[in-house]
Amino acid sequence: GGRRRCRRLEGEAARAVLGAADTLLFDCDGVLWRGEAALGGAAAALGRLAAAGKRLCYVTNNSSRTRQAYGEKLRRLGFPPATPRHVFGSAYCAARFLRQALPPGAAAYVLGGPALAAELREAGVPHLEPGPAALPGPAPADWARAPLDPAVRAVLVGFDEHFSYAKLCQALRYLLRGPDCLLVATNRDHRLPLEGGAAIPGTGCLVKAVETAAEREAFIVGKPNRYMFDCVASEFDIDPARTIMVGDRLDTDILMGNTCGLTTLLTLTGVTTLEEAELRKVEPTDVRKRTRQFAACPLLDRLRLS
C-alpha cells in the first residue's frame, strides 16, 4: 500500500480515529504526567474515553513501581480508576517473562529496587533481595571469591539507585557461568528528562554496563520490544486494528506501536518534539533506519478530544 503521511489529529478526524478504537494503551511519563504532576487535560481526556466505554491500559518502561502503585498514582492524580490488571509496568512484565523463561526453582540476581523485587515475589520467581552485594574483602580482586547462589539462572537489570561496581562484579560472575544464565533488562531508556532541559541517567546506562562486562546483549522487556504488547494481548482480548498506542517518544512508544500493527498517537508533551517527528530525527542512530517506517505511521499528533 501507499505510505500514509503522519498528520495532525484534530476535530472530526480525532473523533473518527478514537471512535474506531476500543482499546487505548497509554505510555505514562510525558503523556499522563511529568514526575508527580498530571499533564493538563490528560485526566479529563481519559475520563471521557472511559465514559465512552474504551478500555484503557497503561504501558510504562519505568520499573520503579508495582502495578498496584501505578493504580494508586493514577487515582491520586485524578485519572479514571484503573485496576492493577490494566497496568503493564516493566517490573511486572519482567517478572512475567522470568516466570515463563526460568526452569522451576531457578532464581534471578536482581539489580533493581523494591518494586522489581515485589513483582518477582508476586509472580513467584525466586530472587536475591536487592541490597549491597556481600563482599569477602576490601579489594575488588577479592570480590571474585564472593559466594554465588547456585540457583541463579538469570541476571535482571532494572532501575537501581544503588547500582555499584560490586553488583556489576556479581552480575558478571553469574553471566560467566554461560548462556544458561539469562541476561534480561527492563528497558533501555538512557536518560530521564527533568524540567528545564535537565536529565538524570536512565536504566539503559546500567544495562550497557552489564552488557559490556558480559559481552552479550540483554533481552529487553520494555518498549520498543513487542513483549510488553504481547503481555497486554495475552491478558485482554485485543484487536490491534482497534487499538491505539499513545506515547511521547518515537523510538520507544511509536516504534512498538508500529511493530505491533497499532494506530499510533504522539502527544508532543514529552521527549519527541514536533520538529523531530517531522524530520524523524530520533536517537540513537541505529533507530533512525528502523524508523523509516514512521512515514507509514498512520497518526502522529497530540491527543485532543475537544
Of the listed pieces 54-62, 77-85, 118-126, 280-288, which binds ligand PLP according to CB under 6 A? Answer: 54-62
- Hey, what's the cell of 207? 544495562
Examine residue 30 and tell whether it contacts ligand PLP (CB under 6 A): yes
Crossing angle of helices 90-101 and 227-235, in 10° steps, is: 80
Site for ligand PLP in 187-206 (CB under 6 A): 187, 189, 192, 202-203
What, of Ca ion, ligand PLP, none, does residue 291 touch, CB below 5 to 8 Å by kind? Answer: none
Q: Footprint of Ca ion on this chain (CB under 5 A)? A: 27, 29-30, 248
Examine residue 64 and tell whether it contacts ligand PLP (CB under 6 A): yes
Check 27, 189, 253, 301 and give the catalytic one: 27
Examine residue 28 and tell whether it contacts ligand PLP (CB under 6 A): yes
From the list 7, 45, 5, 11, the residue with the least C-alpha distance to 26 is: 45
Q: In what order do the strands lie in the sheet with 55-60?
A: 87-89, 55-60, 23-26, 243-247, 263-266
Q: Which is nearer to ligand PLP, 158 or 183 (CB)?
A: 158
Site for ligand PLP in 225-244 (CB under 6 A): none
Q: Which is nearer to ligand PLP, 181 or 282 (CB)?
A: 282
What's the CA gap between 281 and 12, in Å, rounded? 29
Of the listed pieces 27-35, 42-50, 103-111, 115-123, which binds ligand PLP according to CB under 6 A? Answer: 27-35
Minimum gap (Å) between residue 14 Cβ and ligand PLP: 23
Minimum gap (Å) between residue 59 Cβ and ligand PLP: 7
Exposure class string for 96-115: b at 16+ Cβ within 10 A, else e: bbbeeebeeebbbbbbbbeb
Q: Which is nearer to ligand PLP, 152 or 282 (CB)?
A: 282
Kindly tell me the number of DSSP H helices and DSSP E strands found in the chain: 12, 14
Examine residue 29 and tell whether it contacts ligand PLP (CB under 6 A): yes
Crossing angle of helices 203-214 and 165-175, in 10° steps, is: 50
Minimum gap (Å) between residue 193 Cβ and ligand PLP: 8
180 among known catalytic residues: no
Which helix H or strand E contains 16, and what residues bound it?
Answer: helix 11-19
Examine residue 170 and tell whether it contacts ligand PLP (CB under 6 A): no
- Hey, what's the cell of 197? 532541559
Contact positions vs ligand PLP (CB under 6 A): 27-30, 60-62, 64, 159, 187, 189, 192, 202-203
Q: Which residues are identified as catalytic?
A: 27, 29
